[in-house]
Chain A
């Protein structure tokens, strides 16, 4: 790790990934990957199944430990931190399948993600004051769940669970938001509403999105990174990568 870490220098980027590698029993799921994300940039990662897209997000947010390389968030090394420390540094992650607290209500789900009282005693003596309530209701409104704020989260439809999870991220107010297939499994209307929601919430932060829907990608992306077999195949604007012959061959062609 030391060689790669030495290579990583301080930058103006929000996120600087350099030489990132992870291998599972010799199989390199992510192989010497480097890319940079600007302030307020929306970066979309595309690629065929098994290209290592989700693994990259796992590596950034600390769910999987890197074998080699460096991930710097605002020049802070993340590869040595635990998941909760990375979250507290300002990185939020949405999972592919909606991952919410089904035994709690919508309100409690959002409240739990409110960034205060995060240690044991802070949580024990956490006070549900007006500020918290207002913030939770405001967030619920933003993700169209105000009507169902008292409902148990397991009663929500699939699409609304996705929104709730986005809301849970918003209330954390992360500087870098990572979304893994945010519109997968949604109806057409829900898709449009989600796209609209994403446009609103991405305005003042950097975002990394994994997505398959090329139309959706073209709509939101500043930059697109195409991954294949753990490596970067192409990078650039949506228009540019769409015309890249290598990309057409491995991904868009079929």
Chain B
């Protein structure tokens, strides 16, 4: 399949697809981080995670409209406000969901999967009722609209670079929060030994709620980033949930480095193959590869061997 292209063309193709893959990587990573926190730390399967992302995307869309209508002078900065609002909205909804549904199901992981799937249907239909079935897009501020011309063939869009910066920043923040803050060590204490954590005075119910809310909030940020590269529709989130889960499982839940590496390899593989094989076959091959690797390494790529 390479023989039709010259070496420079191939180089540019790989560079372009690699960069396109990096944007996919950013969305995967943001989605997977939230999911990895919820699944890895709490063992809960949140099938509505994609819908939390879409909530963030709609919040971003609303914010951009509000800025365009009322503060056109500040339009260039709306995205930062939107990101914060998206995080807060998704986190608040997450806390509510944890309180009403999830906390009753901690000892039944497979049932959280069904309940959150139901939740995803409710959220999708709500979006459809509120925002309509048509996909909406946001207007990209001027400063994000351009692109850098790297070589004759390769140009890198600014919004793509920006989304990646967000992903990296959020990842770093999550890492610091989970592994360098006392809050993070409390969360990890609850994961490792719930009764013991409770016995030493950690409010485990509150930790669970905040952890779940944090995971959902990060999905909200992912939604903000998502608006930069795709249009938002009521069921757009559903397309991402399986991929994201594979990213989390492939990376080995509870390992941030694993999540990063796995999001990177899956997005790059998919993006590069897409050019040569077309979107659907690329996706089939990526999924198939991940499934097969998981058969041989069910614990994921980055997990420690511990005594059960």
Contacts and interface: CB of A to CB of B under 8 A. Distances in A.
Contacts of A64: 307-308
10 contacts: A24-B305, A24-B306, A24-B307, A25-B304, A25-B305, A25-B306, A29-B307, A55-B307, A64-B307, A64-B308
A25 B307 CA distance: 10
Interface string A51-86: 000010000000010000000000000000000000
Interface string B275-308: 0000000000000000000000000000011111
Contacts of B304: 25
B274 to A, nearest CB: 38
A29 B308 CA distance: 12
- A interface, size bucket: under 10
Contacts of A24: 305-307
A242 B175 CA distance: 51
Interface centre among B305, B306, B307, B308 (most CB of A within 10 A): B307
Interface in A18-63: 24-25, 29, 55
- B interface, size bucket: under 10
B180 to A, nearest CB: 22
Interface of B: 304-308
Contacts of B306: 24-25
Contacts of B308: 64
Interface of A is mostly: mixed
Contacts of A29: 307
Given A24-B305, A64-B308, 4 more contacts: A24-B306, A24-B307, A25-B305, A25-B306
A25 B306 CA distance: 7
A64 B305 CA distance: 11
Interface centre among A24, A29, A64 (most CB of B within 10 A): A24
The 7 closest A-B pairs by CB, nearest first: A24-B307, A25-B305, A25-B304, A24-B305, A24-B306, A29-B307, A25-B306
A146 to B, nearest CB: 33
Contacts of A25: 304-306
Contacts of B307: 24, 29, 55, 64
Nearest to B307: A24
A172 to B, nearest CB: 23
B103 to A, nearest CB: 24
Nearest to A54: B307
A55 B308 CA distance: 10
A25 B305 CA distance: 6
A143 to B, nearest CB: 28
A55 B305 CA distance: 15
Contacts of B305: 24-25
A58 to B, nearest CB: 9
B22 to A, nearest CB: 33
B306 to A, nearest CB: 6
A29 B306 CA distance: 11
A20 to B, nearest CB: 15
A55 B306 CA distance: 12
Nearest to B304: A25
Nearest to A55: B307
Nearest to B306: A24
A243 to B, nearest CB: 33
Contacts of A55: 307
A170 B292 CA distance: 41
B307 to A, nearest CB: 5
A24 B306 CA distance: 6
A158 B124 CA distance: 48
Nearest to A26: B305
B304 to A, nearest CB: 6
Nearest to A63: B308
A19 B257 CA distance: 36
A61 to B, nearest CB: 14
B295 to A, nearest CB: 18
Nearest to A22: B307
A89 B227 CA distance: 62
Nearest to A23: B305
A197 B153 CA distance: 83
B83 to A, nearest CB: 39
A24 B305 CA distance: 6
A31 to B, nearest CB: 14
A25 B304 CA distance: 7
A64 B307 CA distance: 8
Interface centre among A25, A29, A55 (most CB of B within 10 A): A25
A33 to B, nearest CB: 16
A67 to B, nearest CB: 10
A6 B304 CA distance: 30
B299 to A, nearest CB: 13
A25 B303 CA distance: 11
A225 B305 CA distance: 28
B222 to A, nearest CB: 33
Interface in A155-206: none
